[in-house]
C-alpha cells in the first residue's frame, strides 16, 4: 500500500488544522497520523494512490477558515504499520520556525453558546474554540501547545478534557479551552470593594460604567480604560486624567446594529469591521447622535470597533450603549500588560478595575484601519494581524532585523522572503518603550528561531544610538545598514506590493532625517529597493524654535509669512492674535537663523496652513492640525487650485511653499472663507504633485508611482492624487498591508537591506 509523508507550511497551528486533517483522513479512508512540529504540520498517510491525491488536494482547498496554507510538500515513504487507524500525535519540538496565528475574535458558534442559558459556558468571559480566542498574546514558545502558553497553569476539568480529546468536537485541541470550573476568572475591585463572584463582578462593572465611572479592564493584549461614550462629563474626565486633551478615543459598539445607528458604513467597511481581526475602523459618524462630542473633536471620523472577546460581548450587551475603549497606558507609554503594571500605572486613572487571571504574554494594542476610495489601508497593524508575516518578492540570504523609526515604531525581522512585522511598539521616547522594544525583539527572535546578522536602521542619530545600545547583547556583531527615512517609506510601499521599482516615489510625512542633516518630509524620489535619487521636494521653509514649532505650528505660520511676504501683515488675524513677544522671537530666529532649522516637511506645511487659517495655533498630538484642516476642506472639494507653478533649482523640482502661502494670505485678506482656502490648499498640492509626476514620467520613462508617508492618511490628498494619476494611466502603488505612516518604515528598511545584500553591496 503506498504511503506518503506530507509537510505543510503556513499558519497551520492554533487554527483547528489537526482536527481538520483527522476528519479528512477519515473521510478518505486513510490510516496514519498528524502532528504539529515547530515548522508547521507533518502528516503520514497510507492508502490507495487516488485517495492520497484527493486527500492532498482537499488539504489545500478545504483548509479551515483561519489557516493559511503556504506549501504542501509530499514525498513517498515505505509502507508503515498504522494499525489501520489515523491518530493525532503529540507535538514534536525541534528548532526552526512556524507561523504563529494572530489573536482571533470570538466566533459566532462561541457567541451563541455564550448567551445560551442552557450552556455550561453561559456568560463565561473566556469561552473559545479552535476557530477563535487568544493566540499570539498567550504564546510563550512553539509549538503551539497548551503547556507553551499562559494557559499552562489551568488544568482542564473532565468535561473540557473530553472536548479537547474528541476529534469531532469544535474544541478538539483548542489550547486555551476553558470553562467556569477549570479556567481563568474575573473579579471586580475598587476602593474597599472586591467582588470575586463572576456574576457580581460583571454586575458591578456594568453599574460603575453606567453611573459615569472609568474602569480599567484587562483584555486580550493589554488593559483598556473604558467609560460610557455617551457621557460627556466622564469622557472629559478621562481626557483630563490621561492628559490627552484632543487625540481621538476609540469606541466599542455592541454589534453591527449599533454601529449602523451611529455611523455611515459601506459594505467594504462592514466586512473589515467584522473580520476575525476586528480592528478599530475609522468611520464617518452620523450627525445628532448621543455620542459625546469629546470622543474625536475636529475629526471627520471616529474609531469604532466591535467586541472581540467574550468579556467585551458581555459588557456591551449589559450596558447596551457605546463604550470608550482606549489603551490603558500613561501618555506615550506602552499599553499595560501585567496586573502589577496596571495597578501602578492605571491606579490614578481608573475608578475601578475589572481583572482576570489569564496572563498576557505578548502585549498587543488594537489595530486601526480606514477604508479609502482605494480600499482598506492600515493605520496601525497590531492585534489580529501581528505576527502574521508579509510575503515579499525579495529574499534575504541572512535574517535581517530592521528597527523602524522613532515614532509609531514597529520592527521587522525578515527571514527568507517572509517579513515578520512586530506589533505596534509606539513612541520611542521613554524607557518603557525601549523595554517593550527589546523584549519584543528578543521574543520574535526566539519564536521564529532567527539570529539576525544585519541591522537596518534610520539615519536619526539619537534613535539609532539608543537602539544599537539596547541591541548590543541581543544581536551581537551585526552589520549595520543605514537607510534614509523616505527611501524606506517608498520601499515599504514597493515591498508590500511585491514590486522592486524603479518607481517615482512620493514620500510625504512629518519628519525624517536627510543625509544632508536637514529635516526632510516632502520628498519626491526616483527609487528602487537598492537606491534612490531625490528629484523633488517641497521648497524648504524654517521651523522657528525647532521643537517648539512642532507643538506650536503658529510659529511656522509666522515664519512662512515673513519668508513669503517679508513682513507680518498687521491686519491678518494670525498676526493680531499672537503675542508681540512671540512675533518678535520668530522674527529674530528667522533673520539671525537661530534655532530655526530648514525643512521640506509636508506635515509641517499642513500645520502652518492650519494656523494661518485660524484653526489651531498649538497641537497636542501629531497630525492634529492637518486632520482638522482636512475636515474643514472636505465639504468644498473639488475646487480649483491656486495658480502657482513648480520651479526647478539646482536639479531639484520644488513645490512653491511660499507661493502657496502668498496666495492663501491674499485670499484671507480679500475675505475668502477659511474652508474654501483649506480646500484650495489641498487642490493645489494635488495639482502640483500630479504635474510633477507627469514631468518625471517624461524625463525618466517610469510609469510606476508609489505613494507613502503619513500625509497619505489624508483622504483628500490620497484620493485626489490617485484619481488624477490613474486617469493618466499611471500605475499607482499604495499601502494595503502596512501603514503608510512610520509604522511601515521597518518593512521598507528590511527590503532595502535585503536588496543591498543580494546585490553584494
Ligand atoms: Zn469559537
Ligand atoms: Zn473546564
Ligand atoms: Fe515618516
* Beta partners for residue 505, in sequence order: 525, 706
Ligand nearest to the CA of 157: 2
Q: How far is the CA of 37 from the centre of ligand 2 (A)?
A: 26
Distances 642 to 342, 565, 659, 683 between C-alpha atoms, Å: 52, 17, 9, 8
330, burial (CB in 10 Å: exposed 0-12, middle 13-18, buried 19+): middle
The alpha carbon of 235 and the centre of ligand 1 are apart by a number of angstroms equal to: 33
pLDDT at 543 over 70: yes
Backbone angles phi, psi at 288, to 5 degrees: 55, 50
Cα–Cα distance between 188 and 191 in angstroms, integer? Answer: 10
Please tell me what DSSP assigns to residue 149: B
* Residue 277 CA, ligand 1 centroid: distance in Å: 14
pLDDT tens sequence across 26-50: 999 999 999 887 678 999 999 999 9
Taking the centre of ligand 3 as the mean of its atom positions, its distance from the CA of residue 740, in whole angstroms, is 8
Q: Convert 154-192 to b/e letters by CB count within 10 Å (16 or more is b).
A: bebeeebeebbeebebbbbbbbbbbbbeebbbbbbbbee
Distance between CA atoms of 368 and 424, rounded to whole angstroms? 10
Give residue for cell 514534536.
Answer: 92
Q: How far apart are CA 735 and CA 741, in angstroms?
A: 10
Q: Using the mean position of ligand 2's atoms as its centre, give its distance from the Cα of residue 159 in Å.
A: 6
Question: Angle, to 10 degrees, between the axis of helix 745-758 and the axis of helix 485-496?
Answer: 90
Q: How far is the CA of 485 from the centre of ligand 3 (A)?
A: 6
Mean pLDDT along residues 631-637: 96
On the question of pLDDT at 759 being above 80, the answer is no
pLDDT at residue 760, as a whole number: 65
The percent helix, strand, coil of the chain (3-state, each to 5) is: 35, 25, 40
For the CA of 151, the nearest ligand: 2
Q: What is the mean pLDDT of residues 84-112?
A: 80
Q: Dmax over Cα atoms in the chain, in whole Å?
A: 94
Nearest CA among 449, 265, 443, 468 for reference residue 371: 265
CATH number of this structure's domain 3-88: 3.30.70.100
Q: Give the Å distance between the CA of 293 and the centre of ligand 1.
A: 36
C-alpha cell at 206: 456594568
639: left (phi over 0), alpha (psi -120 to 50) or beta: beta
Where is pLDDT greater, at 1 or 646?
646
**Residue 112: nearest ligand to its CA?**
1
Confidence at residue 97, expressed as pLDDT on a 0 to 100 scale: 53
Q: Which residue has the higher pLDDT, 40 or 608?
A: 608
Ligand with smallest separation from the Cα of 109: 1
**Residue 151 CA to ligand 1 centre (angstroms):** 16
CA of 724 to the centre of ligand 3 (A): 24
Is 421 exposed, middle or buried, given 0-12, 13-18 or 19+ CB atoms closer than 10 A? buried
Return the ligand number nearest the Cα of 488: 3
Ligand 3 mean position to 641 CA, how many Å? 26
Percent of the chain having pLDDT more than 90?
A: 86
Which pairing describes strands 215-218 and 193-195: parallel, antiparallel, or unpaired?
unpaired
Q: How far is the CA of 102 from the centre of ligand 3 (A)?
A: 26
The set of cell numbers assigned to 110 is: 462561541
Determine the distance separating the centroid of ligand 2 and the alpha carbon of 130, expressed in angstroms.
15
Q: Which ligand is nearest to the CA of 745?
A: 3
* Ligand lying nearest the CA atom of residue 507: 3
Q: Is 747 helix (H, G, I), strand (E, B) or coil?
A: helix
Ligand 2 centre distance from Cα of residue 153 (Å)? 13
Long-range contacts of 289-293 (CB under 8 A, 24+ apart): 289/261, 289/262, 290/230, 291/229, 291/230, 291/251, 291/262, 291/322, 292/229, 292/230, 292/231, 292/232, 292/235, 292/236, 293/232
In 592-673, which ranges are continuous DSSP H helix?
Answer: 602-612, 624-633, 657-670
State residue 94's pLDDT score.
46
Measured CA to CA, the distance from residue 540 to residue 655 in angstroms comes to 9
- Distance (angstroms) between ligand 3 centre and the Cα of 678 equals 23
Q: Which ligand is nearest to the CA of 159?
A: 2
Kindly give the distance from the C-alpha atom of residue 290 to the centroid of ligand 3, in angstroms, as a whole number.
36
Q: What is the mean predicted confidence (pLDDT) over 733-751?
A: 98
Nearest Cα to 747, choosing from 405, 486, 402, 490? 402
- 742 Cα: distance to centroid of ligand 3 (angstroms): 5
CB 307 within 8 A of CB 254: yes
The residue extents of the domains of the chain are 3-88, 186-356
Note the pLDDT of residue 298: 86
Using the mean position of ligand 3's atoms as its centre, give its distance from the Cα of residue 743 in Å.
8
Cell 536619526 belongs to which residue? 460
Angle at 274 between CA 273 and CA 279, to 5 degrees: 45
CA distance 32 to 629: 64
What's the pLDDT tens digit per position in 689-726? 999 999 999 999 999 999 999 999 999 999 999 999 99
- Ligand 3 centroid to residue 97 C-alpha, Å: 31
Strand 251-252 to 323-327 pairing: antiparallel
Ligand nearest to the CA of 603: 3
**Whether the predicted pLDDT of 95 surpasses 70:** no
When pLDDT is averaged across residues 439-460 and rounded to a whole number, the result is 93
Q: What is the mean pLDDT of the chain?
A: 94
| % of the chain with per-residue pLDDT over 70 | 99
Round to whole Å and give the CA distance between 253 and 278.
12
Short-list 485, 473, 474, CA closest to 510: 485
Q: How far is the CA of 466 from the centre of ligand 3 (A)?
A: 19
| Alpha carbon distance, N-terminus to C-terminus of the chain | 53
Q: Rg for the chain (alpha carbons), in Å?
A: 28
> Could you tell me the pLDDT band of residue 429, with boundaries at 50, 70 and 90?
confident
Residue 557 has a pLDDT of 98
Q: Mean per-residue pLDDT for 378-392?
A: 95
The CATH number assigned to the domain with range 186-356 reads 3.90.870.30
DSSP classification of residue 329: S
Which ligand places an atom closest to the C-alpha of 171?
Answer: 1
For residues 316 and 323, the answer to whether their CB atoms sit within 8 Å is yes
Q: Nearest CA to 448 among 34, 40, 7? A: 40
Cα of 131 from ligand 1 centre, angstroms = 5
Rounded to the nearest whole angstrom, what is the distance from the C-alpha of residue 738 to the centroid of ligand 1?
28
Q: Where does the pLDDT of residue 650 fall: very low under 50, low under 70, confident under 90, or very high at 90 and above?
A: confident
Q: Is the dihedral of CA 91, 93, 96, 102 positive or negative?
A: positive
Cell numbers standing for residue 496: 508590500
Q: Which of 361, 714, 653 is nearest to 524 (CA)?
A: 653
Peptide bond into 659 cis (omega under 30): no
Strand partners, 542: 598
Please count the other Cβ atoms lying within 10 Å of the Cβ belonging to residue 108: 9
| 160 alpha carbon – ligand 2 mean position (Å) | 4
User: Are 392 and 74 a contacting pair, CB within 8 Å?
Assistant: no
User: In this predicted structure, what is the pLDDT of residue 495?
Assistant: 98
Ligand in closest contact with the CA of 748: 3
Q: How far apart are CA 166 and CA 164, in angstroms?
A: 6
Q: For residue 202, what is its C-alpha cell?
A: 460583571
How far apart are the C-alpha atoms of 702 and 487, rounded to whole Å?
17
For 201-217, the pLDDT digits (tens) are 999 999 999 999 999 99
CA of 741 to the centre of ligand 3 (A): 6
Ligand nearest the Cα of residue 710 is 3
> How far does residue 167's CA lie from ligand 2's centre (Å)?
17
**Whole-angstrom Cα distance, residue 175 to residue 164?**
8
**Interval between CA 259 and ligand 1 midpoint (Å):** 23
Amino acid at each position: 500500500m503506498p504511503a506518503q509523508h506530507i509537510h505543510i507550511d503556513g499558519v497551520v497551528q492554533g487554527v483547528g488544522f489537526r482536527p481538520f486533517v483527522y476528519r479528512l483522513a477519515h473521510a478518505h479512508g486513510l490510516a496514519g497520523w498528524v502532528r504539529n512540529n515547530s515548522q508547521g504540520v507533518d502528516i503520514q498517510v497510507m492508502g490507495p494512490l487516488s485517495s492520497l491525491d484527493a486527500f492532498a488536494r482537499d488539504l489545500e482547498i478545504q483548509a479551515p477558515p483561519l489557516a493559511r496554507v503556504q506549501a504542501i510538500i509530499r514525498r513517498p515513504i515505505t509502507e508503515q504499520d498504522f494499525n489501520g487507524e489515523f491518530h493525532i500525535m503529540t507535538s514534536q519540538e525541534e528548532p526552526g520556525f512556524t507561523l504563529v496565528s494572530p489573536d482571533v475574535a470570538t466566533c459566532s458558534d462561541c457567541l451563541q453558546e455564550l448567551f445560551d442559558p442552557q450552556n455550561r459556558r453561559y456568560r463565561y468571559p473566556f469561552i473559545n474554540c479552535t476557530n477563535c480566542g487568544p493566540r499570539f498574546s498567550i504564546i510563550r514558545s512553539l509549538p503551539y501547545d497548551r503547556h507553551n502558553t499562559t494557559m499552562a497553569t489551568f488544568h482542564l476539568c473532565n468535561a473540557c478534557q473530553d472536548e479537547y480529546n474528541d476529534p469531532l468536537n469544535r474544541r478538539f485541541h483548542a489550547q486555551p479551552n476553558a470553562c467556569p470550573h477549570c479556567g481563568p476568572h474575573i473579579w471586580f475591585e475598587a476602593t474597599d470593594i472586591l467582588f470575586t463572584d463572576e456574576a457580581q463582578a460583571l454586575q458591578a462593572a456594568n453599574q460603575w460604567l453606567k453611573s459615569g465611572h472609568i474602569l480599567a479592564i484587562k483584555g486580550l493584549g493589554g488593559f483598556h480604560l473604558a467609560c460610557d461614550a455617551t457621557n460627556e462629563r466622564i469622557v472629559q474626565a478621562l481626557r483630563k486624567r490621561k492628559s490627552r486633551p484632543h487625540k481621538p478615543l476609540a469606541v466599542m459598539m455592541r454589534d453591527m446594529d449599533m454601529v449602523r445607528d451611529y455611523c455611515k458604513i459601506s459594505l467594504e467597511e462592514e466586512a473589515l469591521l467584522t473580520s476575525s481581526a476586528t480592528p478599530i475602523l475609522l468611520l464617518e459618524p452620523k450627525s445628532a447622535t448621543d455620542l459625546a462630542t469629546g470622543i474625536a473633536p475636529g475629526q471627520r471620523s471616529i474609531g469604532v470597533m466591535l467586541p472581540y472577546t467574550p468579556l467585551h460581548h458581555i459588557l456591551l450587551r449589559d450596558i447596551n450603549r457605546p463604550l470608550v475603549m482606549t489603551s490603558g497606558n500613561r501618555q506615550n507609554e506602552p499599553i499595560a500588560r501585567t496586573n502589577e503594571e496596571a495597578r501602578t500605572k492605571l491606579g490614578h486613572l481608573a475608578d475601578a478595575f475589572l481583572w482576570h487571571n489569564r496572563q498576557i504574554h505578548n502585549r498587543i494594542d488594537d489595530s486601526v484601519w480606514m477604508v479609502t476610495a482605494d480600499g482598506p489601508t492600515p493605520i496601525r497593524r497590531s492585534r489580529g494581524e501581528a505576527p502574521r508575516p508579509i510575503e515579499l518578492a525579495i529574499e534575504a540570504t541572512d535574517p535581517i532585523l530592521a528597527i523602524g523609526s522613532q515614532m509609531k515604531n514597529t520592527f521587522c525581522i525578515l527571514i527568507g522572503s517572509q517579513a515578520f512585522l512586530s506589533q505596534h511598539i509606539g513612541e520611542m521616547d521613554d524607557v518603557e518603550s525601549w523595554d517593550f522594544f527589546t523584549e519584543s525583539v528578543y521574543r520574535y527572535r526566539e519564536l521564529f528561531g532567527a539570529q539576525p546578522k544585519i541591522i537596518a536602521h534610520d539615519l536619526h542619530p539619537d534613535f539609532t544610538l539608543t537602539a544599537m545600545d539596547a541591541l548590543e547583547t541581543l544581536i551581537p556583531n551585526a552589520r549595520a545598514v543605514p537607510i534614509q527615512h523616505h527611501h524606506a517609506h517608498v520601499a515599504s510601499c514597493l515591498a508590500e506590493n511585491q514590486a522592486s521599482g524603479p518607481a517615482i516615489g512620493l514620500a510625504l510625512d512629518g519628519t525624517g532625517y536627510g543625509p544632508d542633516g536637514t529635516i526632510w518630509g516632502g520628498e519626491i524620489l526616483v527609487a528602487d529597493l537598492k537606491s534612490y535619487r531625490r528629484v523633488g521636494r517641497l521648497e524648504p521653509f524654517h521651523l522657528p524654535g525647532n521643537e517648539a514649532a512642532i507643538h506650536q505650528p503658529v510659529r511656522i505660520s509666522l515664519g512662512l509669512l515673513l519668508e513669503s511676504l517679508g513682513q507680518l501683515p498687521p491686519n491678518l488675524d494670525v498676526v493680531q492674535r499672537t503675542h508681540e513677544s512671540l512675533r518678535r522671537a520668530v522674527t529674530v530666529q528667522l533673520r539671525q537663523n537661530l534655532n530655526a532649522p530648514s525643512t521640506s516637511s509636508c506635515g509641517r506645511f499642513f500645520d502652518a496652513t492650519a494656523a494661518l487659517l485660524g484653526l489651531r495655533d498649538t497641537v497636542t498630538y501629531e497630525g492634529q492640525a492637518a486632520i482638522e484642516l482636512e475636515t474643514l476642506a472636505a465639504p468644498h472639494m473639488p475646487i480649483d487650485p491656486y495658480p502657482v507653478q513648480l520651479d526647478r533649482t539646482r536639479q531639484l523640482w520644488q513645490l512653491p511653499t511660499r507661493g502657496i502661502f502668498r496666495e492663501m494670505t491674499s485670499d484671507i485678506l480679500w475675505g475668502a472663507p477659511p474652508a474654501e482656502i483649506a480646500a484650495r490648499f489641498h487642490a493645489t498640492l494635488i495639482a502640483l504633485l500630479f504635474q510633477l509626476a507627469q514631468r518625471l514620467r517624461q524625463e525618466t520613462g517610469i510609469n510606476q508611482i508609489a505613494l507613502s508617508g503619513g500625509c497619505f492618511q489624508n483622504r483628500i490628498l490620497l484620493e485626489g492624487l490617485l484619481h488624477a494619476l490613474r486617469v493618466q494611466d499611471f500605475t499607482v502603488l499604495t499601502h494595503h498591508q502596512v501603514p503608510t505612516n512610520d509604522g511601515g518604515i521597518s518593512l521598507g528598511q528590511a527590503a532595502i537591506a535585503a536588496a543591498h545584500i543580494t546585490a553584494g553591496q
